[in-house]
A and B are shown apart, each in its own frame.
Chain A
Amino acid sequence: MVDAKIIAMLGVLVAVNSALRFIEVAIPGPGGFSPIFFLIILTGYVYGGRIGFLMGAMTLLVSALVTGGVGPWLPSQMFTAGWVGMSAALCAIIVHTLRLKGGRGELLVLIVFGAIWGFLYGFIMNLWSWPFIAGPAEQYWSPGTGLADTIRRYAAYYLLTSLIWDLSGSLGNVLLLTAFGIPTIRLLRRFKKRFLFQYQPGIA
C-alpha cells in the first residue's frame, strides 16, 4: 500500500482519533468508556476492512507513543482495535443484503455492532493479563485443560472482573454512534470518492 492519498487520509484520521484518546487519558470516562471506537467502526464500515484494521491499530499505536502508553498490552490493543475496524466491513455486507442503506436500519446495525464490540474488546483484551493475574495452574489454564473447561474458567474470570467495566464501554459506543453516526457516515462517503479513485493507464 503506497497510495499517497490513502496514507495521508489514514494519518490524519488517526491523528483525529488519537486526539480523542488523548482527551480520554486526561479526563477518564466512566469504566471502559472510550471515544475512539465510533470513528474506527465507521471508517471500517465506509472504507472497508483493510483501512478499518489499519485505522484501529494505528490509532492505538500513535496514542500510545504520544501518551507514553507503550506497554505489554499494546500489541493486544492494536490487534483488537484493528479487528474492530476490520469486522465493521461486515456491517456493510449486512446493510447491502438487507437493503438498509440510508435509513435508520443502517444506523441500527452499526449501533448493535458497536454494543457487541464494547464487550468483545474487553473479553479479548483480558487474555493478555490472564496468565499473570490468575492463580495456580490447577485452577486456571494449564496444559491438558480441555477447551470447554478453559472457556468456562475464563468466562467466570471475565464475569467477575470485567463485565461492569465493559458495559460502560458498550453503552459509550451506542451513545456516540447514535449521536454522530449518520453525519459522520455522510462525511466519510463524501470524501470516499476523492480518496479512493485510481488512475488507469489509457489504451493506445
Chain B
Amino acid sequence: MQYHSFSWVVWLVAVLITLSATRNPLYLFLLLLVILVINSWLRLHPASREIISIPFAFTLTIIAGSTLFNALTSHFGATVIFIIPGSIPLLSGPVTLEAIVYGATNGLILASMLVAFTVVNQALSVRALIGLIPQAFHSIAVIVAIGITFLPITVRQFQQIREAQAIRGHRMRNIRDWEPLVIPLLTSGLEHAMHLAEAMTARGFASQAGAQANTSERRVLVLGLGIMVIGWVVCLSPLHPALGWGLLALAIICIVGALVAAGRKSRRTSHKAQPWRLVDSLIIFGALITLIVFIFPPSEAARETIQYNPYPVVSLPGFDPLVAVSVFGLLVPMLTSPLRKR
C-alpha cells in the first residue's frame, strides 16, 4: 500500500488502544469486522505485500479457544451452567455464563489485535518497516538491512550446498547428517561478512564513528528507563496513582529526548522518500476520532456501555449509536480504490 508508514502506525496504535479500552462485545465485534474488512480490501490491492495472513478460521479458533479456556478455569459468576466435579486443579468447580462471555470478549480482543497487525504487515513494505526504526538506532537498522538483503542469498546458498553434497552421495538420514550442510553455510556466510565489512569500510562507513550516543545521552536514557520502572510500580499502588503517571510522563520525556539527541548525530538519506498525501492526514483524523470517543466518551451513558463487565451477574451489553459510528473512522484507508495501481 502506498500510504505513508506513519499514518499506518497511528492507525494501528489507535486500534490497539481502542481494543484495550472496552470489553463490550458488541463494540468489539464491530471493531473486528471493520479490521477484517480493511484486511480483505488490502488483499485486493495490487501493491499490498504477500504474507502469511491470518485466515478467518484461525480468528474463530482464537475466540473459541479463549472462551473455552476461561469457561473451564474461571469459576466466578452467578449464573452457573454446570459443575465440573472432583478436585482437578484449576478445572473443578462451576462453569458460569459470565466466564464464557468474558472469555469470548478476551478472544475478540486478541483476534482483533492479530488481524490489525496482519493489516499493517500487508500494507507496509519491508523497506517502510525498516524506515520506522528510530534514527538513534541506525546501527541496528543497518544490521536489519544486511540481514534482509542476505536472507535470499543464504537460502540460495543453502540449496547450492545441498545439491553439491547430494552429488557427492550425501544422504539425510538423521540430524547429524545436517552438519555438512549447516557448517559450510555458516562458513560461507561469515566469509561474505568479512568481504562486506571491507566494502563498508572502503565506502566510509567507519566515518560515522562520531555518530554514537555520548555518555550523557546514555545516562539520560538509563535514568528514563529507571524512572519508568519506578513510575510503573507506583502506578500499581492504589495510594499514589497520580504520582505514578507523573513519573511515567517524565520517563517518556527523558527517553524520547535522549533518542532524539542521539538520532540527530546520524544523517538519514532516502533513495525514494515516502510522499505525504491528504489521505494520510484523513487516516490519522479518522483513527483519532475513534480513539477519542472510546477514551473520552461523549456522555455518561456511552461511558457505561464502553465499560461493560459481565461479572458478577451477566447482563445484555449496552449500545450507543455514536460510539458505534465512531468505529467507522478506522475505515478511512479504504478511501482509495483497491484495484487502482498508482
A residues near B, CB below 8 A? Answer: 1-5, 7-16, 18-19, 22, 25, 54, 58, 61-62, 65-72, 129, 132-136, 138-139, 143-144, 156, 160-161, 175-176, 179-180, 183-184, 187, 191, 194-195
Bound complex: CA A166 to CA B56 (Å): 27
**When the two chains form their complex, are residues B76 and A139 in contact, meaning their CB atoms are under 8 A apart?**
yes
Collect the chain A residues with CB atoms within 8 Å of residue B167's CB: none
- Whether A132 and B187, one on each chain, are in contact in the complex, defined by CB atoms closer than 8 angstroms, is no
Residues of B within 8 A of A175 (CB): 175
**A65-B113 contact, Cβ under 8 Å, with A58-B144, A179-B176, A184-B183:** no
A64 to nearest B CB, angstroms?
9
Closest to A135 in B: B74
Tell me which of A4, A67, A139, A176 contacts B201 (CB under 8 A): A4
Query: Of B30-38, B153-161, B319-327, which stretch is located at the interface?
Result: B153-161
Query: How far does the alpha carbon of A13 sit from the alpha carbon of B187 in the complex, in Å?
Result: 10
B49: interface (CB < 8 Å): yes
B139 touches A15 (CB 8 A): no
> When the two chains form their complex, are residues A16 and B186 in contact, meaning their CB atoms are under 8 A apart?
yes
Interface centre among B103, B110, B121, B130 (most CB of A within 10 A): B121
Using known A-B contacts A19-B154, A58-B144, determine if residue A4 contacts B200 with beta carbons closer than 8 Å. Answer: yes
**A65-B126 in contact (CB<8A):** yes
- Selecting from B188-196, B255-263, B269-277, the interface stretch reads B188-196
Asked if B311 lies at the interface with its beta carbon under 8 angstroms from chain A, I say yes
Instruction: Please give, as numbers and ranges, the residues of chain A lying within 8 Å of B179 by CB-CB distance.
Output: 179-180, 183
Query: Which residue from A4, A13, A58, A134 sits with its C-beta under 8 Å from B206?
Result: A4
**A18 lies within 8 A of B206 (CB):** no
Q: Nearest chain B CB to A176's CB is how many angstroms away?
A: 8
Closest Cβ of chain A to B220, distance in Å, is 19
Taking a contact as CB atoms closer than 8 A, the residue among B129, B187, B192 that contacts A65 in the complex is B129
Knowing that A19-B154, A136-B311 are A-B contacts, what are 5 other residue pairs whose CB atoms are under 8 Å apart, sorted by A's residue number?
A2-B206, A19-B151, A62-B147, A156-B90, A180-B179
| Chain B residue at smallest Cβ distance from A156 | B90
* Inter-chain contact A66/B121, CB cutoff 8 Å: no
Q: Is the CB of B236 within 8 A of A62?
A: no
Cβ of B55 under 8 Å from chain A: no
Which label, helix, strand, loop or mixed, suits the secondary structure of the B interface? helix
With A and B bound together, what is the CA distance between A14 and B147 in angstroms?
6
Is B29 positioned at the interface, with any CB of A under 8 Å from its CB? no
Taking CB atoms, residues of chain A closer than 8 Å to B16 are: 72
How far does the alpha carbon of A62 sit from the alpha carbon of B143 in the complex, in Å? 9
Which of the residues B118, B158, B238 comes within 8 Å of A144, measured between beta carbons? B238
Contact B139 A139 (CB under 8 A): no
Q: Tell me the residues in window 80-110 of chain B with beta carbons closer than 8 Å to chain A beta carbons.
A: 89-90, 99, 102-103, 106, 109-110
**Chain A: interface secondary structure?**
helix
Query: In the complex, A97→B143 CA distance in Å?
Result: 33
| Candidates A7, A15, A135; contact of B197 at CB < 8 Å | A7
Q: List 12 A-B contacts (CB under 8 A).
A: A4-B205, A11-B144, A11-B146, A16-B186, A65-B144, A66-B148, A68-B53, A132-B106, A133-B70, A139-B75, A179-B179, A187-B187
Least Cβ distance of A7 to chain B in Å? 6
Contact B175 A179, beta carbon cutoff 8 Å: yes
Give which listed residue, A3, A58, A69, A139, contacts B147 with CB less than 8 A: A58
Beta-carbon contact of B143 and A7 below 8 Å: yes
Q: Is the CB of B114 within 8 A of A71?
A: yes
- Chain B residues with Cβ below 8 Å from A16 are 154, 185-186, 189
Q: Assess whether A156 is in contact with B186, with CB atoms less than 8 Å apart.
A: no
Q: How far is the CA of A176 from the CA of B175 in the complex (A)?
A: 8
Q: Is A143 within 8 A of B175, CB to CB?
A: no
Using CB atoms, name the residue of chain B closest to A20.
Answer: B182
Contact B196–A8 (Cβ < 8 Å)? yes
Residues of A within 8 A of B205 (CB): 2, 4, 7
Cβ-defined contact, A8 with B193, below 8 A:
yes
Closest to A21 in B: B151
- Inter-subunit contact B238/A143 (CB<8 Å): yes
Contact partner of A1 (CB less than 8 A), chosen from B89, B122, B185, B212, is B212
Decide if B142 touches A11 in the complex (CB within 8 Å).
Answer: yes
Which residues between 112 and 145 of chain B lie within 8 Å of chain A, taking CB atoms? 113-114, 117-118, 120-122, 126, 129-130, 139-140, 142-145
| B146 and A15 contacting across the interface, CB-CB below 8 Å | yes
A16 to B118, CA, bound (A): 25
| B154 A15 Cβ-Cβ under 8 A | yes
Chain B hits for A4, CB < 8 A: 197-198, 200-201, 205-206
